[in-house]
Structure 1
């Protein structure tokens, strides 16, 4: 049985409120073993989400970024949550607002539901199989004005491309020479998926390292809006990847997200 959508939205908003408490003051930054930054906001938000999920869906395992970093990884299951309590740590640290709370439900390798909340921007997106994708603003801790969103066909003048604000690569530069680019916008965190889902962009090529918790919620929203995320081998991006010969558990290959259907 799939967890209640409103409960998951509320949990993301609650975690976002905790993040903003840290964001509004002074905080220190630590560097993890994988060279990624972490702050008190990551830890506090993840604790809220884990506690909430234990009540909302007590029988569903949770793979969460900071827990995995600390060596706490649940046993493999066909259904599990993927959580990034603060996606876009570099955006959080630079205080540009482009960071998100990501909660996704995975079933048999597929992201079937996801919530992406940008607490500093006051916007939230969610979507899942069979129910479509939605956007709302968050006012006083409540999602208001929910409206259905959908990908839009690419225009005739070229692709509207979004890319990472903090993780550009030479491979991306090479790829962009192979497509007709009408516009390119740099955006932090999983907001890139949401721009595609809203019909405001066409392509998000990622030729840099990501982990499953970085992408799962945005991927779910994009799929629900009619888009897709494919590897460079033109296969759907799958989740729950363990014992990978060429990378660590839960690491993603390069991928291209776009506004066309076909997952």
Structure 2
């Protein structure tokens, strides 16, 4: 597909003064589909031959062919602008949710959670579905800090936790909705053992938040709410990891 603007740039010096007027006139036309040779003649007082010569010097055999090139260039530009606008919308949404999530972080609460994790004998990282990725990543970060951790993502392994969890243990639950029955029922049982529960969940009212010892809340909005929620779980877990890192390094 020919690029009319490149053709004009490459061949502009070849155009006569009258032919340049023709091209510059067409560049200013908004409704290019309805443009006719007669319109150019009536405004610029040039002949059909002048217009055709301008077309041929730009490597277009006819006026219709050159007009189609202008239409294609306009449509491509609009498409690019639309794609760019969508990208900006998504980018702004992620920025907004990230800022909201970080603003929800309370320093005292984060400090208590970090101390709880550092002093824990064992840390059970729990997450199902898309939340498993956040749980797995956080578990990996714990190993980098020489803290004992293990990740639980399927129903059977999660239900086994209350049978082995003790008062010195901590369960970190990653759940955007906070409404997963299999997880919440297990958490209640484990809490009966004296195990402390840290919930990383959305700021909306949910059961997980109400039954946990500590909560780390995240913000998410927009049409990609589920995806954004998962991303915000990672943001909050990274904040906790960085805070623990500063505590461990200062010892």
> TM-score when scaled to structure 1?
0.24
> TM-score when scaled to structure 2?
0.25
Is the radius of gyration larger for structure 1 or structure 2? Answer: 2
